[in-house]
């Protein structure tokens, strides 16, 4: 899995919601509820996500952080990408000190297994033997990682069972049968190690496989793992974020809930928000609204690994994220029959019937509200931060995956550049990464990028504070 795409490295609905909930209730997500539980992040945490290309070029950690930025605007924390495309457990062990611990984490996650199980197209006893040998080798390296992690009791550890290799989709890429089963053997060991050491654990493989297979009943070519069966597309990355946040026990925490009645001068419900200057009649309701959280924005532009390119928002068809994590509810009971216009800060947001107001409107789904627009700006700044961090990860990928085996780790001299340019003629992924490397090899450039990330992070926490809005619900003429 060279860089984030290649597998050739020298040195890439309603019915569903019911099904998903059934899986949750039946316990398919994880064998041990205690081990599957992840402590929520807290103020001041520095969270390092360690992994391979699925982390290196993926968004799941960025989507997780976006939830914290919008839902807990006063809980400042930082999230760091420590993925390297193509890595196996042994390589992760070798860069723990220089790449992961150097970021001074208070929390560290670890996921591996995709590359460790190899990409051999074997069948029968030969495949079983090859997978067994590769898993055993991976677990030896995992033992070394575990030993080093134990030397850092100040860091909270989270073992993440890898997203799956999709063997069942009817796409053109020939599946490597038995690979995901081999990966699950690693997941079992991660869980066992987490339990014995009092660490946190989550299995992403099992629930993501269940979603794939359920969707494949309707579309045999469906996969969240892209056309290489390996790399989750942006919808899959959002599913990963959802599963992680759910394991942290954050489901059910509303953006806010406001329930009013025309026969009451006080709110019936004001959950995670403050209501003031309330005025109610049978034909109009007006009040000031200050929420403690912002709605969660989702990117609708397709992107991510490979094809088919799907968007973060496409994941909402697969999971109950909106119901569980993104409820900004507005209910008004007792309005005279008819249609009513919703205005926020004088801007018309939409029109709904009295019955619809009584049932409740989820404002988090209304992308023209001031609060959603505020959250959307946060999403774009967070994406810009992710893009800059990716440049730095490309620099480290060149070093750890290409230069380190040649004894040139962090040798950024002209001779190294010349060697890379020659090597790029026969390796596409090196070729597309060298332009970034040629800039990043200068420490002053890397420092500037790091300062940009700090600036953007500061901006995220400067603009993520909810503000008071004037809400008016008046009968339409």
In this predicted model, what pLDDT tens digit does every residue of 166-205 receive, in sequence order?
Answer: 999 999 999 999 999 999 999 999 999 999 999 999 999 9
Q: Are residues 301 and 399 in the same domain?
A: no
Are residue 365 and residue 380 in the same domain, yes or no? no
Among 212, 247, 282, give the residue marking a domain's end: 247
pLDDT tens for each residue of 419-463: 999 999 999 999 999 999 999 999 999 999 999 999 999 999 999
Residues 32 and 158 reside in one and the same domain: yes
The closest of 229, 146, 139, 217 to 184, measured between CA atoms, is: 139
Examine the domain organization and report whether 151 and 177 are in the same domain.
Answer: yes
pLDDT level of residue 301 (50, 70, 90 thresholds): confident
Same domain, 361 and 389: no
pTM for the whole structure: 0.92
| Residue 232 shares a structural domain with residue 290 | no
The reply to whether 438 and 341 lie within a common domain is: no
Residue 302: per-residue pLDDT: 84
CATH of the domain at 185: 3.40.50.1110
Contact in structure between 19 and 216 (CB atoms under 8 Å): no
- The pLDDT assigned to 307 comes to 66
Per-residue tokens: 324? 């569980």
Residue 3 lies in a domain: no
The answer to whether residue 7 sits within a structural domain is no
Residue 4 lies in a domain: no
Looking at the structure, do residues 407 and 446 belong to the same domain, yes or no? yes
Do residue 426 and residue 284 come from a single domain? no
| Residues 466, 468, 473, 474, CA torsion sign | negative
Which of 250, 369, 230, 362 minimizes the C-alpha distance to 307? 230
In percent, how much of the chain has pLDDT > 90? 89
In a domain, 5, yes or no: no
Q: Where is the domain boundary, 209, 227, 247?
A: 247
Domain that residue 28 falls in? 14-247
Residue after which a domain boundary falls, among 221, 247, 273: 247
Asked if residue 416 is part of any domain, the answer here is: yes
Residues 318 and 226 in one domain: no
Residue 8, in any domain of the structure: no
* Distance separating alpha carbons of residues 67 and 62, to the nearest angstrom: 9
Helices 205-216 and 234-247, packing angle to 10 deg:
130
Count of domains forming the chain: 3
Measured from the Cβ of residue 10, the count of other Cβ atoms closer than 10 Å reads: 12
CB 272 within 8 A of CB 292: yes
Cβ proximity of 239 and 224 under 8 Å:
yes
Q: 187 and 51, same structural domain?
A: yes
Average pLDDT, the chain: 92
Position 1 in a domain: no
Q: Assess whether 338 and 348 both reside in one domain.
A: yes
How high is the pLDDT of residue 399?
96
Torsion angle in degrees (nearest 10) through CA of 279, 285, 286, 287: 80
């Amino acid at each position: 899995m060279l860089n984030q795409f290649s597998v050739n490295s020298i040195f890439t609905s309603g019915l569903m919601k019911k099904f998903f909930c059934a899986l949750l209730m039946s316990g398919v997500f994880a064998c041990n509820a205690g081990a599957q539980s992840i402590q929520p992040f807290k103020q001041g945490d520095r969270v390092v996500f360690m992994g391979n290309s699925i982390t290196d070029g993926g968004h799941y950690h960025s989507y997780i952080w976006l939830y914290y930025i919008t839902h807990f605007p006063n809980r400042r924390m930082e999230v760091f990408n420590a993925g390297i495309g193509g890595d196996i457990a042994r390589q992760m062990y070798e860069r723990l000190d220089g790449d992961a611990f150097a970021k001074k984490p208070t929390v560290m996650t670890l996921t591996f297994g995709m590359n460790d199980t190899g990409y051999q197209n074997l069948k029968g006893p030969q495949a079983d033997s090859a997978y067994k040998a590769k898993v055993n080798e991976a677990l030896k390296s995992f033992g070394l990682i575990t030993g080093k992690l134990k030397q850092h009791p100040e860091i909270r550890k989270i073992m993440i069972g890898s997203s799956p290799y999709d063997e069942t989709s009817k796409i053109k890429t020939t599946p490597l049968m038995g690979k995901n089963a081999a990966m699950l053997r690693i997941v079992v060991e991660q869980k066992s190690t987490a339990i014995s050491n009092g660490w946190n654990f989550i299995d992403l493989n099992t629930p993501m496989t269940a979603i794939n297979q359920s969707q494949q009943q309707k579309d045999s070519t469906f996969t969240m793992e892209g056309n290489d069966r390996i790399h989750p597309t942006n919808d899959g990355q959002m599913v990963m974020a959802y599963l992680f946040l759910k394991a942290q026990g954050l489901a059910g925490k509303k953006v806010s809930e406001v329930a009013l009645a025309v026969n009451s001068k006080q709110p019936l419900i004001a959950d995670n928000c403050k209501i003031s200057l309330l005025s109610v009649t049978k034909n109009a309701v007006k009040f000031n609204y200050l929420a403690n959280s912002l709605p969660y924005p989702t990117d609708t532009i397709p992107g991510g690994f490979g094809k088919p390119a799907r968007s973060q928002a496409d994941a909402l068809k697969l999971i109950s994220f909106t119901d569980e994590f993104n409820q900004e509810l507005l209910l008004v009971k007792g309005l005279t029959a008819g249609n009513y216009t919703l205005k926020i800060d004088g801007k018309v947001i939409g029109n709904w019937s009295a019955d619809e107001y009584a049932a409740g409107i989820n404002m988090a789904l209304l992308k023209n509200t001031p609060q959603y627009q505020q959250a959307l700006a946060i999403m774009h700044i967070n994406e810009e931060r992710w893009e800059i961090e990716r440049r730095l990860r490309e620099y480290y990928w060149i070093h750890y995956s290409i230069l380190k085996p040649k004894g040139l780790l962090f040798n950024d001299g002209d001779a190294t550049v010349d060697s890379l340019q020659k090597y790029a003629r026969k390796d596409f992924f090196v070729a597309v990464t060298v332009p970034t490397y040629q800039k990043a090899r200068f420490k002053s450039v890397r420092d500037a990028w790091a300062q940009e990330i700090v600036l953007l992070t500061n901006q995220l926490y400067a603009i993520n504070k909810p503000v008071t809005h004037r809400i008016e619900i008046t009968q339409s003429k």
